[in-house]
Amino acid sequence: MRRAWASRGTAQDAASTAAASAALRRRVRPQRFLHEPLLRQLRLAAEAERFDPLEWRRLRGPLAEAAPQLRPAELTSALQALAALRSVEPAYLNPVLDRLNDAAGYFTPQQFSHSLTALALLGAEASCQAAPMATAIKELLAVPPFYLHQLPSSLLLDCLEALLKLKCPAASLAEVLLRELPSAWQLNKEELLRLLQLLAEVAPRIEQGAVLDMVKVAMGDARAALRGRLHGVEGLSEGELLQALMACTELQSSLELHNEPAETPQSLCSLLHRRAMQRCDTAGGRSFEKLLLTELSAGSPASPRAATALAALRPEDCARLCGVLGHFARQQRATATRSGPAVPAYVARLVPGLVRRLIELLEILSAEDMVRAWEALSADLCYSDDYLSDRLSHALAARIFPVRGEAQAAVLRRALGAAANGSSLAPFFELLQSGVEDLHACWDSREDELKEAMCRSLALDLDDLAGDRSWSWLRQMRAHFASQVQPQDSMDWILDTQAVEDLCLKWHDLRRHAAQISKSDG
């Protein structure tokens, strides 16, 4: 009888406890388990091939109401779905970001990686975002989870890339991510190339310290691993060779700017990096880039590998590759111990194919990319082509004039310097004429800052320019803008004498106006 009463009491207590718990759950969080269907519908709407605005309008209200109750896993799913939409109204995004401030410390490593990547897509620059976005990014970066080493290498690289997109690479978190990266020999070639590209973007943004030492060691390991995969089953394709070349050269150039003086005490990590680089490289740390260039340009000047790689070059990489090849040629000239060609043969073989691809993509390149490519080809690679110069000058004139800001004025100055290195004076004259006429026509309607920038770009403040004779003036102007690497001896102007005299008069007229402004300011 006592046992029956005891068992009955225990059952009644358990039933009452369960009922009380159920009532508490209904009272505190009545829709606790209704979030998953909402998030699933949101993900499907975001991942659809054609986004339906009506579906987003139907889901955004319930999402904002459910945001304060989202668990870390649900919050991660919501951020990923919102990141797929890219453009979200602040009224519906801010409740999710407010919840992120409270839940940041409870993320698993996978949830941390996915949330950081989603925030990088939602806001590319923390300093330019509204307060909720900046606060959410700050809170998430302030509490990185433990056990990041459990993340796969792809997610670690995602975290590093997200920091770069946010333009706020926290030194402590970057150090943790670099420390937790697996050995380069454990990465596949796609991850190796991605790591080199990320390191090339990280290096210019950090100063001397442990993070820079880790970048150096990671670069040495990645290059050694790539060296062993140039051939064989996992051999690099032509496009991957170009990507590796550009990333390695840019990274090496950034690290050379961070070289410490010999008398500065070196850390153990720096000494290990130096020993590793001595095992992998000779000739000032450029032998790996030279090896990649030789692989691309092996054989005849029309190498099949080089032709295939350059024909598939993306628009954003054309100017980048011109700069890389130009920097490499300039470094080779600076370190050469005996006289020789201005450009090594294994670099010169790539230039004609690169120029053909540049001309094909000229209409979709920005003015900045055009000038960067033209500078590298004319000054660093000593390449002169009248047809290319004419095409570049016409395309740049269409993008620069009329000059609306100081950035365009700076591009004009660089374009004049690149055009002055050509064998024909016509592109230089046309750009100079367009710039002078643009400034002359709009002198009274422009602000003083823009006029000063234009005066600097057109060399109106040039003190050592003597004489008003048109041809002598034009020759001095060209000599002022031309590079010392490629001196100009050509006397084949092929220009209209009257046009040169008119331009000379307009230029000196503008110079007198500029002198009056400087006197009034003084």
Question: What string of H, E and C letters represents the secondary structure of 259-273?
Answer: CCCCCCCCCHHHHHH
Cβ proximity of 35 and 66 under 8 Å: yes
Whole-angstrom distance, CA of residue 222 vs CA of residue 220: 6
Mean pLDDT of 501-518: 82
Say whether pTM exceeds 0.85: no
DSSP E strand boundaries for 143-266: none
Say whether pLDDT at 112 is over 80: yes
Token digits of residue 210: 């442990």
Say whether pLDDT at 281 is over 50: no
Whose tokens are 């991510």? That residue is 177
Q: What's the pLDDT band for 24 if we cut at 50, 70, 90?
A: very low
pLDDT tens, position by position, 433-466:
999 999 888 887 778 888 888 888 898 877 766 6
Cβ proximity of 457 and 416 under 8 Å: yes
| Least confident range of 215-224, 242-251, 386-395 | 215-224
Q: Tell me, what's the pLDDT at 11?
A: 62
Which H helix or E strand runs over 390? helix 386-400
Alpha-carbon distance values, 16 to 9, 11, 142, 340, 343 (Å): 10, 9, 44, 94, 88
Say whether pLDDT at 240 is over 90: no
Whole-angstrom distance, CA of residue 301 vs CA of residue 313: 18
Residues near 404 by Cβ (< 8 Å), separated by ≥ 6?
none
pLDDT tens, position by position, 318-371:
999 999 998 888 887 877 666 667 788 888 888 999 999 999 999 999 999 999
Mean pLDDT of 71-87: 82
Cβ proximity of 434 and 411 under 8 Å: no
Q: Tell me, what's the pLDDT at 282?
A: 37
More confident residue, 53 or 190: 190
Cβ proximity of 303 and 266 under 8 Å: no
| Least confident range of 253-267, 327-341, 476-490 | 253-267
Q: Tell me, what's the pLDDT at 94?
A: 86
Spell out a b/e string for 376-399, using b for 16 or more CB atoms within 10 Å of the CB, else e.
Answer: bbbbbbbbbbeebbbbbbebbbee
Cβ proximity of 119 and 136 under 8 Å: yes
Whole-angstrom distance, CA of residue 465 vs CA of residue 513: 17
Whole-angstrom distance, CA of residue 41 vs CA of residue 48: 11
Say whether pLDDT at 146 is over 80: no
- Fill in the amino acid letter for 41: Q
Q: What's the pLDDT band for 284 if we cut at 50, 70, 90?
A: very low
Say whether pLDDT at 124 is over 60: no
Q: What's the pLDDT band for 377 if we cut at 50, 70, 90?
A: very high
Say whether pLDDT at 478 is over 80: yes
Q: What's the pLDDT band for 252 if we cut at 50, 70, 90?
A: confident
